[in-house]
Amino acid sequence: MEEKGWLGADIYFDIDADHIPTKCAKIHDIWTCSSCGFNDKGIPPEKCPYCGNRNFDEKTWPCEVCLESAKRETIKLIGMLTEDFGFSSNDVKVSFSGHRGYHVHIEGEEVQEMDSVERKEMVDYITGSGIEARFHGLEEGYGGSRILSGPNLDDFGWRGRIAKGTYEFLLTATNEDLKNLGLKRNVIKDIIMNRDAVLKSWETKGPWGIIKGLGLEGWRAIMQKSIEHQSAKIDTVVTTDIHRLIRLTNTLHGKTGLMKVAFPANEIEQFDPFKRAIAFKEGTITLFIEEAPEFRLEEETFGPFKKQRVELPLAAALLLLCKDIAWVAK
């Protein structure tokens, strides 16, 4: 063993719905304090509100909304890898993890020798860590003028991504969204009342100088929000860990009974994990189900269930058994 040495490692990115806030988590995800047993739904708090314990047992659910949010993040990641880092679509391998997300895998000699620090640089770029608006084109005009200049939609890298994110944010931003950024009431009113003009301004140089009363700090706040939307929500530890073991393709995930399934990157929009990842397609099992939300496998919908004895197809039964919310009925 002493004679063995590290030769290299492919780069993996793990995108999991656990790292993406979704409203549906408050409906189907349950956490239980490992000390006092207090439980509630949604994302667990930093500490138990009843006893102060910081350890929780979590039961998450692979719902369609969660998996769609993970897919959106994966699409953003693939775009960065191909457009910004220059990898070809053939270099980027994509897989459904078998649970609540996707794996993106790049192999080849040019990446296998990258150490943790170099991989951390990629992670920081992808997550938008440390990006400051003033280094990406946002500045006051010459001669002390309050007219601002900023990034354009056709710029490369994060400049273009910031512009796209700003456009998308201003396209849909509500009064509450703008208020949460700390913008003044008159500025918010001006943005909403002149939204069409603001959006049309992107045909030339963008809206940076046309909103009255919106200065550098206000635009920085808007651009920072755009960075949050344009960045990809990856598990940063997985990518920087050069000794990480990754689930093999076509193996079963122990939390769902579904397979890890690989597919071409350009097929991700059409990929349906609830059709493609089913391993067992014959047979039935009778279960006693404590509680389970409604879910779909292939074209059939099941549930919701609560304290029921039900005969289910094998794949659906395995999902509930793996989630520890059902037992084989005697």
pLDDT on residue 156: 92
**Backbone phi, psi, residue 163, to 5°:** -60, -45
Q: Left (φ > 0), alpha (ψ -120 to 50) or beta: where does 37 sit? A: left
* pTM beyond 0.85, yes or no: yes
Q: Same domain for 151 and 239?
A: no
Q: Same domain for 17 and 84?
A: yes
Residue 154 counted as domain residue = yes
The b-or-e profile of 243-267 (16+ CB within 10 A means b, else e) is: eeeebebeebbebbbbbbbebebee
Q: Which two tokens stand for residue 146?
A: 């309050």
Residue 219 counted as domain residue = yes
Q: Same domain for 211 and 291?
A: no
Helix, strand or coil, per DSSP, at residue 93: strand
pLDDT on residue 321: 96
Judge residue 88's burial from the number of C-beta atoms within 10 Å of its C-beta, 0-12 exposed, 13-18 middle, 19 or more buried.
Answer: exposed
One pLDDT digit (tens) per residue for the chain, 330 residues = 788 888 899 999 999 998 887 878 777 888 899 989 898 888 888 899 989 998 998 888 899 999 999 999 999 999 999 999 999 888 999 999 999 999 999 988 889 999 999 999 999 999 999 888 778 888 776 655 565 788 889 999 999 999 999 999 998 899 999 999 999 999 999 999 888 988 898 888 888 878 888 888 888 899 999 999 999 999 999 999 999 899 999 999 999 999 999 999 999 999 999 999 999 999 999 999 998 999 999 999 998 999 999 999 999 999 999 999 999 998
Residue whose entry in the numeric block shows the structure tokens 């909403």? 192
Give the domain CATH number at 174.
Answer: 1.10.8.160
Q: Is the CB of residue 69 less than 8 Å from the CB of residue 102? A: no
pLDDT on residue 141: 65
Residue 176 counted as domain residue = yes
Nearest to 258 by CA among 272, 274, 278: 278
Total of domains in the chain? 3
Q: Same domain for 239 and 123?
A: yes
**For residue 177, what are the domain limits?**
133-230
Strands (E), 35-143: 39-41, 56-59, 92-96, 101-106, 139-140
